[in-house]
Structure 1
Amino acid sequence: MNKKITLILTVFFSLSVFANVSFAEKEILIKLNQATNGSKWINKWDLSLPMDKWYGVKVVDDKVISINLKNNNLTGRIPVEITNLLNLRELNLGTNLLNGEIPLNIGNMKTLEVLDLSFNKLTGYIPVSICTLPNLKVLVLDRNILSGELPPQIGKLSTLENLSLYENSFQGQLPVSFYELKYLKSVSLYANRFTGKLSSAIGNLVLLENLNLFDNDFKGQVPMELEKLPNLKKMNISYNLFSGLVSNKLSLLDKLNMTMRNEMGNVVSLPVIKG
């Protein structure tokens, strides 16, 4: 009898825990809905329905694992409470009208694999806590009003495959740790204000397939190590301040054949080594 009672209590307790988890996450999603003017969304939530029936929300085992509200007319700020969704693997709020800053404690979301906040009006810096996300594979922050330098700790994103930050106001040199992102396949940093030299350590990025640094202020010699990257198929590093000789292979690989700006702002072509 005692064993039976214990079993019943255990099941009841377990169900209570799941219910609490579900309730807590539901409250966070309601906060997101309120903070981003949910009544004006294109695809609205019927809050009387279970969470797994809400547009763009995926629930597995009573846990919210994905929120995809791309192009859904979200306005306002991203509520800080969203960082308490500790089971979330995907957060896609791209192509909306969100403003304000990326929540500073976004690093709490340790299971996050995809973070897409592109095509909004976000301001401020990339929070350092992003660099503590051990499972992040995709970081897309294109077309915002973000600024500052990349966090020095960015190399800790050991699983990162896609880094896309184009059309913002980022500046400064690429951190040394950037060249430790050995699983990177695509890097799009064009139309920012990045400066400094491109390290020869870029040769470490052996899985890199796409490199777009177009329209920044990188300078110095174009690293010959780019030529040795076995998977590099697309490259555009033109309209920077690079100087010196480049190989014919690199010139042909670049979308604009190594067309640069000089210190006077004039358009120049880098001399190509024949053969």
Structure 2
Amino acid sequence: MKNAVLSFIAMLLICPVCLAKVTSKERKALLDVYEHAGGAHWNTPWNLEAAVETWHGVTVKDGHVVALDLFRNNLIGNIPESIGRLKYLTYLNLGFNTLDGPIPIQLTELENLVTLKLEMNRLQGPIPMEMGNMRSLEEFTAFNNVLEGSIPESMGQLENLRILNLSSNALDGAIPEAIGSLDKLEVLGLFGNRLKGELPTSLGQLTQLKELVLSNNGFTGKIPESFDQLAQLEIFQIQNNGFTDFKVIEAMQERSFLAFDSDMDSRPNFRKFDATRMADTKFDDDDEND
């Protein structure tokens, strides 16, 4: 008996990963991702016989999966509902793959998630209305997919959100008034959707905003006077919409933007801003991990 105990202790000393073994529930959730997203064909597949913490893109801390980074890894398939079992995730990057199907509602159960990156896939259907449950979220990027439906009103509850980029999808309806309550927001990208209606005046409350890209939608009416409060704004693009009143922009002409584009550029006596370029928000991660 004594020898058996000593052998077990020796095994733990030789194999420290045994001490960091993740729960069976979390391991099963990862295996579901592998199965549903074509793991055998990934650029860097997992060795399922090895410890979970050795799998590509998986970070384990205190016996729990805290990060899953499968950026540009040739994921083909869909996101399984069981991903909601990874309760300790703080970082999830599935960007630049070929995932399709919906964003599962179970994803919104990841209340510890800080970063959610789903860009450059083929995800379809609506953004879950339960997004507001993800109170720790600071970054949500899902540009260049085929998402449709409206922007959930509940997203106004994401009080820590700094980056929201939903450009190049098929979203429609108006921008929810509640988005104006995201007082930490620095980037709002909604380029190339089917959004319409007047811009909510509450957007002028986003005083930390540095980038606002609303181009190529169906917005109408006037640019809210409250936009004059956006003193931190560096990139401001609203062209290819149906705006009819640009008075507030005329009042902002003295500012120096890194990028500015609007449909009023050809109006008589309009002085162009010092620098203009098209802000390419679609490929923010293109060089990541190269």
SS of the residue corresponding to residue 259 of structure 1 reads coil
How far apart are 1:231 and its partner, in Å?
Answer: 1.0
2:263: which partner in 1?
259
How far apart are 1:130 and its partner, in Å?
Answer: 1.6
AA in 1 matched with 2:207: V
Q: 2:122 matched to 1:118?
A: no
* Distance in 2 of aligned mates of 1:63 and 1:210: 35
* Distance in 2 of aligned mates of 1:115 and 1:143: 15
Alignment of 1:45-84 (within 5 A): 45-84=46-85
Q: 2:258 matched to 1:248?
A: no
Give TM-score scaled by structure 2 length.
0.81
The answer on whether the counterparts of 2:93 and 2:117 sit within 8 Å (CA) in structure 1 is yes
* Distance in 1 of aligned mates of 2:116 and 2:269: 40
The answer on whether the counterparts of 2:176 and 2:200 sit within 8 Å (CA) in structure 1 is no
The answer on whether the counterparts of 2:131 and 2:154 sit within 8 Å (CA) in structure 1 is no
2:179: which partner in 1?
178
Which region of structure 1 is more displaced relative to structure 2, 42-51 or 251-260?
Answer: 251-260
AA in 2 matched with 1:94: G
How far apart are 1:224 and its partner, in Å?
Answer: 2.8
1:157: which partner in 2?
158
How far apart are 1:250 and its partner, in Å?
Answer: 3.6
Cα 1:54–1:35, aligned 2, differ >3 Å: closer, same or farther? same
Give CA deviations for 1:86-127 in whole Å, capped at 9, x if unaligned.
Answer: 000111101111111011122211101111111111110000
2:100: which partner in 1?
99
How far apart are 1:273 and its partner, in Å?
Answer: 7.3
AA in 2 matched with 1:259: D
The answer on whether the counterparts of 1:237 and 1:254 sit within 8 Å (CA) in structure 2 is no
1:142: which partner in 2?
143
Cα 1:58–1:20, aligned 2, differ >3 Å: closer, same or farther? closer
The answer on whether the counterparts of 1:66 and 1:88 sit within 8 Å (CA) in structure 2 is yes
* Distance in 1 of aligned mates of 2:89 and 2:109: 10
2:203: which partner in 1?
202
How far apart are 1:271 and its partner, in Å?
Answer: 6.2
SS of the residue corresponding to residue 131 of structure 2 reads helix
1:13: which partner in 2?
none
AA in 1 matched with 2:36: A
The answer on whether the counterparts of 2:21 and 2:52 sit within 8 Å (CA) in structure 1 is no
The answer on whether the counterparts of 2:144 and 2:168 sit within 8 Å (CA) in structure 1 is yes
Give TM-score scaled by structure 1 length.
0.85
* Distance in 2 of aligned mates of 1:57 and 1:223: 45
How far apart are 1:51 and its partner, in Å?
Answer: 1.3
How far apart are 1:218 and its partner, in Å?
Answer: 0.8
Unaligned 5+ residue runs, structure 2?
A: 1-18, 272-290
* Distance in 2 of aligned mates of 1:124 and 1:132: 19
How far apart are 1:22 and its partner, in Å?
Answer: 2.1
1:31: which partner in 2?
32
How far apart are 1:225 and its partner, in Å?
Answer: 2.3
1:228: which partner in 2?
229
How far apart are 1:248 and its partner, in Å?
Answer: 3.5
* Distance in 1 of aligned mates of 2:89 and 2:160: 17
Give CA deviations for 1:206-227 in whole Å, capped at 9, x if unaligned.
Answer: 1101000011111111123223
The answer on whether the counterparts of 2:68 and 2:93 sit within 8 Å (CA) in structure 1 is yes
* Distance in 2 of aligned mates of 1:270 and 1:135: 44
AA in 2 matched with 1:145: V
Q: CA RMSD in A?
A: 2.1
AA in 1 matched with 2:194: R
- Aligned length in residues: 250
How far apart are 1:229 and its partner, in Å?
Answer: 1.3
The answer on whether the counterparts of 1:244 and 1:270 sit within 8 Å (CA) in structure 2 is no
The answer on whether the counterparts of 1:140 and 1:165 sit within 8 Å (CA) in structure 2 is yes
* Distance in 1 of aligned mates of 2:182 and 2:270: 30
The answer on whether the counterparts of 2:147 and 2:170 sit within 8 Å (CA) in structure 1 is yes
* Distance in 1 of aligned mates of 2:147 and 2:245: 32
Q: Give the structure with the larger strand fraction.
A: 1
The answer on whether the counterparts of 1:71 and 1:93 sit within 8 Å (CA) in structure 2 is yes
Cα 1:47–1:271, aligned 2, differ >3 Å: closer, same or farther? farther
